[in-house]
Amino acid sequence: MRGLRSPPTLVFRFQTPVSTTVARTTSNYLGETEMGSKGVWSGSSDAHLLGEIERLKLEKEELESRIRLLQAQLKPQGAAGEEQSASCSLSPLSCPPINGTALTGLSLEMIHRYGRHLLLPDFGVEAQLKLSRSSILVVGAGGLGSPVAMYLAACGVGCLGIVDSDIVELNNLHRQIIHTEAYIGQSKVKSAASTCHAINSSIKLVEHREALQVVNALDIVSKYDIVVDATDNLPSRYMISDCCVLLNKPLVSGAALGLEGQLTVYHHNGGPCYRCLFPNPPPAAACQRCSDSGVLGVVPGVIGCLQALEAIKVASDVGEPLSGRMLLFDALSSRIRTVKIRGRSPLCPICGENATFTREVFQSFDYENFTQSPMSDKSSNSLDLLPESSRISSKEYNKIVNNGEPHILVDVRPAHHFKIAAMPNSINIPLSILETNLSTIDSALKQADQDSGRCADLYVVCRRGNDSQRAVDFLSKNGFPMAKDIVGGLQSWARDVDHSFPTY
Amino acid sequence: MHLTLEFGGGLELLCGSVKTHSVDVKSEPGEHELKMRDLLSWTKSNLIKERPEMFMKGNTVRPGVLVLINDCDWELCGGLDTELEEKDVVVFISTLHGG
Ligand SMILES: [Zn+2]
């Protein structure tokens, strides 16, 4: 192929008059060709037209194959994605192949691939060029990060970095659409990068298979122009925002839970940072997580798509980014409302006028302690509320069942959890209404006493073993001192006793 | 005074899972205006059915709650001292962190 390097230019030039003719002719008949394939032209007496169309189609195919050949020779400059360097520095020459078409700065391949962007008067060549010269870091390859990464890859950002330490799990595939079953158990970043590469092999992809933390955040984030927060927890949100202020990077922040989503752009165009808006973290009890509260898969999908859009707008300098405003999405009522939020606060400890927050302070800042919540959607602070004597393991409880010892089992999960799966003979009294339903427990116990002629015991279970402790703590102070909780809840029952019990 | 109060981001769970409340709030006798601080305490005693500490801390909303008056951050209108007007829409929204 090397030998062909110079002739193709000649061939191409030589062919130009022909392709002009073709273009003019096809423009007359293009619509009809499409109609013809739908059968509108069948039975037409004008055989000449059909013949002409056939001839032009063949000519078109031939031209396209020549274009492909020429594009293949441009590849070496465009296929930077093959490099696996952990850097995203885009030298002006490295990413967009400038030598493609000198007039626009976009290569032939790029003009072809992004043609529909170039047709937009509000976007066009200039915006596409800016996009192709920008580098964007997506933090989190989950429900939000999936559409973000896919769209950013597809739209042709110069360099796309993805950072996450999690592995692909089956119970996340309902919303993390970038991953497939084949990647279960493997790195999310590896899986996401492979999907992105399959969508667009001409962009540079950088895999950061690690959790973004204070020790590596400055180093990683500094290599990019724009950051997308697609994480699933509060301490990461504070950390990413603080890091973006320190490095002066715009931050496209999205969040989703249940049937609602939120979106805004921080630290951009005089807008606030996360701390301007939320100087103090909420109480840990207010931090609901997808793994506890649930999330409809498409909801983070919607927010993630909008995050990709905002990132594209910031990168290409098009439109009005969502800075100083926040978009609130309510899936149940199909409502999107955009509200005006406060600007940058002069008193903000991070981005304010007298801020003393430095890189050194950042690197030793304990975000988990600051927010009192873990940097993960999965690990939960397990509660230790009760004395040993008020607790029982799932295996011990199994013995009690097998020995037929008189007892009642109260399941304090919400009613919709109880409907998913429940232990035999358990009574569902959600923790939120326990206080007003003590009489139910009382009469169930009396019934069990009567049936067995002995004094029945009281056990409490929940999903993971936290709410059951709260319930036992309350019960023991309100007339049921014998109440015990099953350590680890239904999760431990499924793990240690009944492997066929559903986990969710 | 007729107002619409909305709760989102999980705060609706504190008021019987109802997101939108159409309410009539009377200002204190002798007072002509209704301020946000009055509305907060009215809301706490009339709409919040459980865990009030998830709604308020001290005399204001707890950290992590955004208050919007007619789609505008209350920090831009005067916070607790904002005077409410007939038919105002006040939204209380808890910030989300999931993804
Ligand atoms: Zn700030």
Q: Quick check: is A290 catalytic?
A: yes
> Residue A276 Cα, ligand 1 centroid: separation in angstroms?
4
Domain membership flag for residue B99 = no
Which CATH number belongs to the domain containing residue B39 in this structure? 3.10.20.30
> Residue A504 Cα, ligand 1 centroid: separation in angstroms?
38
Domain membership flag for residue B28 = yes
Parallel/antiparallel/unpaired status of strands A335-340 and A325-330: antiparallel
Please give the pLDDT value at position A293.
87
Q: How far apart are CA A143 and CA A147, in angstroms?
A: 8
Q: Which residues of chain A have pLDDT under 70?
A: 1-45, 68-69, 71-87, 89-103, 379-381
Please give the pLDDT value at position A122.
96
Number of domains chain B is built from: 1
Q: A–B: how many Cβ contacts below 8 A?
A: 105
Please give the pLDDT value at position A489.
96
Please give the pLDDT value at position B41.
95
* Domain ranges within chain A, ordered by starting residue: 133-371, 388-496
Query: For residue range A452-481, what is the model confidence (pLDDT) as tens digits?
Result: 999 999 999 999 999 999 999 999 999 999
CB-closest option in B19, B51, B99 to A140 = B99
Tell whether B78 is within 8 A of chain A (Cβ): no
CB-closest option in A143, A282, A341 to B62 = A282
Please give the pLDDT value at position A380.
63
Place of tokens 């007072």: B31
CATH topology of domain A133-371: Rossmann fold (3.40.50)
Question: Which residues on neighbouring strands pair with residue B21, listed in sequence order?
Answer: B5
Place of tokens 């399959």: A198
Q: What is the 3-state secondary structure (H, E, C) of A173-199?
A: CCCCCCCCHHHCCCEHHHHHHHHHHHH
Q: Is A266 within 8 Å of A273 (Cβ atoms)?
A: yes
A268 three-state secondary structure: coil
Domain membership flag for residue B32 = yes
Nearest CA among B96, B37, B99, B34 for reference residue B65:
B96
Q: Which residues of chain B have pLDDT under 50?
A: none
Q: Is A233 annotated as a binding residue?
A: yes
Q: What CATH number has the domain spanning A388-496?
A: 3.40.250.10
Q: Is B8 within 8 Å of B94 (Cβ atoms)?
A: yes
B30/chain A closest Cα distance in angstroms: 33
Contacts of A31 (CB under 8 A, 6+ apart): none
Question: B10: domain range?
Answer: 2-94
Contacts of A342 in chain B (CB under 8 A): 73, 75-76
Contacts of A278 in chain B (CB under 8 A): 63-64, 95
Contacts of A255 in chain B (CB under 8 A): 95-99
Tell whether A276 is within 8 A of chain B (Cβ): no
Tokens of A109: 């391949």
Nearest CA among A247, A256, A270 for reference residue A321:
A270
